[in-house]
Amino acid sequence: MRLNEKIYDKIHACWLGKNIGGTLGGPYEGRTERLSLSGIPDIGGNGPLPNDDLDLQLLNLHTLEQRGLYVTANDFSEEWAEHVYFPYDEYGYALANIRRNMVPPLSGCYNNPFTDCMGSPIRSELWAALSPGEPDIAAYYAYQDAMVDHAGGEGMYGEVFFAVLESFAFEENNPVVLIERSLDYLPSECRVYSAVNDTLEWYKQGVEYKDIRDKILEKYSNKNFTDAPQNIAFTIVGLLYGKDFEDAMLKTVNLGYDTDCTVATLGSILGIIYGTAGIPLSWSKSVGDEIMISPEVRGFDYPKTITELTERTVAVNRKLAVENKERFKFRYIDSFKQQNFFLPKGSGSSLDVSIICSDFCSVIPGRENTVTVMFENKSYEEWHFKVSVSDKKDGKEHEIKLSPGEKSSIDFMLIGKINKLMCAEYRLSVTRLHDGQIWKNYNIDFILPAASKWNIDGKEKYCNGGFINFSSPGTHCASTTLELDTPRTVKLICAGTNPVKLSINDKKVLESDIKNVYLPAFHRCPKPQQTLVSLDAGRYRINIDVESTNEITKLMFLPVASDKSETSGSNYYYVDCAIGAK
């Protein structure tokens, strides 16, 4: 038994359009000049190109099939740890945090310079296909998903925007109306909102297609071709200016930049609006029904064809249709520098627990650190409980009563510790009471990232990981230690917005004259800002000299795996290389 045939066809066309767009734009990803494509490339009967745009949505579908419909960012992050081996940009940083047992949303934003990028806006279609015409539900899922690797960034807003627009598109085909209604789900101060809104206004003012690219780039251009606002605006250009599927797809891909993302999302939107009949047969035949998945996403039963993907999407759609929609309430949280837990896990009606380590995010080893634990009763019953945290200074146990909807918070003074993963491990114990007696015990084992100790311009300073800011022009010096438990070959990245020199035990190993480029990606950091070294186990003295010509200089130092790997997915951040540990 199928859903309404029209909805079924739109879901099928959504996935087909996604596959077509990824194959059209993939070969040109990162090209920032105007392109001149006139059709989809001949792929010689080899099937569509694999693309992370679709790969991670296959995993998200698997997550719902395995874990049930009420999932949170925690569930998605746990599945990432099992099945995702991408080193790229935000994926690599989020996975480094997840593998250290950090929980969203902190895992998505801590020490992550790529939260404003396209890795999550490209994962929106599944949420719309599960909730046609129900944008609040689509927004809920998109928000939870984006917090895994883009918490608080423009990428997060981009995924919410596209999921909502695509959900509306099942019932509305006017592009202007779709865009205006979807913008209501974004804070007006975010750059995605501004870029989309400006693009829409320029279109209404009569700006021609040949000029719209320059208008967008003049205001929103970013040297990182994956920055979300400029690319989301390019997708909107195709939606607004395209005469039909083919014309719209070519108009967007020829704008350049993150072409696999921009045109794959557009293909999905157009598929939803027009159905399979709106996709030219020559385009759909060019990719066929097959799905090709990247080797870095593996270890689960993913759909092998667009038809299978459609059927499995519809199966979950049917289950969601009979759910209590009140469970999927969408609202932005106040801060993303926290870790969220739920008691009991996966219930959707729970005591929500948020753990916040001041504004700094990290604990300082050997010192007292203020950690705030917030409780919100989202269940239908009173929660009467006692709570304590291991390694706190006073050893005091607190007793709390919360009626449904009530909140409370407690500050704990915790002694900062450090392990070889640059983490401090603690346990939060919650003992629920009933009629004054113990009813059930819950334990939340959580970690807090440990700050790294540096000497910056002669002064001791603690930093989050290997990230440093210099706040004045001139010559600066930063020094710390790097400690390895085992011998290994390490790619050392020293990415900065100004010229840098890196020395190990007073021997210079890197010198870069690059200015005004900041791309500390594991796999695509500029060559002069990286070096390959073979190190024995032990502790090494790191010195970094910076010639700053700006008021603010960004610098990221991090050890990364060698590119040479027998398995797919190299360039992982070595979380057991301690930076600045006492």
Longest dimension (CA), the chain: 74
Residue 1: what pLDDT? 35
The C-alpha R_g of the chain, in whole angstroms, comes to 25
Tell me the two tokens of residue 354: 């948020």
- The DSSP H or E segment spanning 568 is none
Mean pLDDT value of segment 165-179 = 97
On whether the CB atoms of residues 521 and 114 are closer than 8 A, the answer is yes
Task: Write down the number of H helices and E strands in the chain.
Answer: 16, 19
Tell me the two tokens of residue 14: 């959504």
Domain 452-579 has CATH 2.60.120: yes
Mean pLDDT value of segment 483-492 = 91
Could you tell me where in the chain the CATH 1.10.4080.10 domains are found?
A: 5-327
CA 189 to chain centre: 20
Could you tell me where in the chain the CATH 2.60.40.10 domains are found?
A: 339-449
Which region, left, alpha or beta, applies to residue 422 given φ > 0 means left and ψ of -120 to 50 means alpha? Answer: left
CA dist 265 and 249 (Å) reads 10
What pLDDT, in 10s, does the model give residues 433-485? 999 899 999 999 999 999 999 999 999 999 988 899 898 999 999 999 999 99
CA dist 517 and 556 (Å) reads 12
Residue 575: what pLDDT? 77
Residue 39: what pLDDT? 83
Residue 275: what pLDDT? 97
Terminal CA-to-CA distance of the chain, rounded, Å? 63
CA dist 537 and 3 (Å) reads 60
* Tokens 């047969």 -> residue: 281
- How much is the mean pLDDT over the chain? 93
For the cut 50, the answer to whether the pLDDT of residue 45 exceeds it is yes
How many other C-beta atoms lie within 10 A of the C-beta of residue 436?
A: 7
For the cut 50, the answer to whether the pLDDT of residue 512 exceeds it is yes
Which region, left, alpha or beta, applies to residue 400 given φ > 0 means left and ψ of -120 to 50 means alpha? Answer: beta
Residue 394: what pLDDT? 60
On whether the CB atoms of residues 519 and 436 are closer than 8 A, the answer is no
User: Picking from 49-53, 128-132, 145-149, 409-413, which range would have the lowest pLDDT averaged per residue?
Assistant: 49-53
Mean pLDDT value of segment 130-156 = 97
What pLDDT, in 10s, does the model give residues 14-29? 999 999 999 999 999 9
> Cα dist. 348→109, 325, 384, 429, 498 in Å?
24, 11, 19, 21, 48
Closest C-alpha to 256, from 79, 28, 568:
28
Residue 123: what pLDDT? 98
CA dist 84 and 214 (Å) reads 37
Class assignment of domain 5-327?
mainly alpha
> What SS3 state is found at 211?
helix
Mean pLDDT value of segment 128-132 = 97
CATH number of the domain located at residue range(s) 339-449 in this protein: 2.60.40.10
On whether the CB atoms of residues 555 and 468 are closer than 8 A, the answer is yes
What pLDDT, in 10s, does the model give residues 187-217? 999 999 999 999 999 999 999 999 999 999 9
Instruction: Using pLDDT thresholds of 50, 70 and 90, give the confidence band for residue 329.
Output: confident
Residue 184: what pLDDT? 98
CA dist 565 and 219 (Å) reads 41
On whether the CB atoms of residues 430 and 442 are closer than 8 A, the answer is yes
Contacts of 431 (CB under 8 A, 6+ apart): 385, 386, 387, 438, 440, 441, 442
Residue 103: what pLDDT? 96
Contacts of 578 (CB under 8 A, 6+ apart): 418, 420, 422, 481, 482, 483
Instruction: Using pLDDT thresholds of 50, 70 and 90, give the confidence band for residue 569.
Output: low
Mean pLDDT value of segment 379-399 = 86
Could you tell me where in the chain the CATH 2.60.120 domains are found?
A: 452-579
Task: State yes or no: cis peptide before 365, omega within 30 of 0.
Answer: no
CA dist 148 and 125 (Å) reads 17
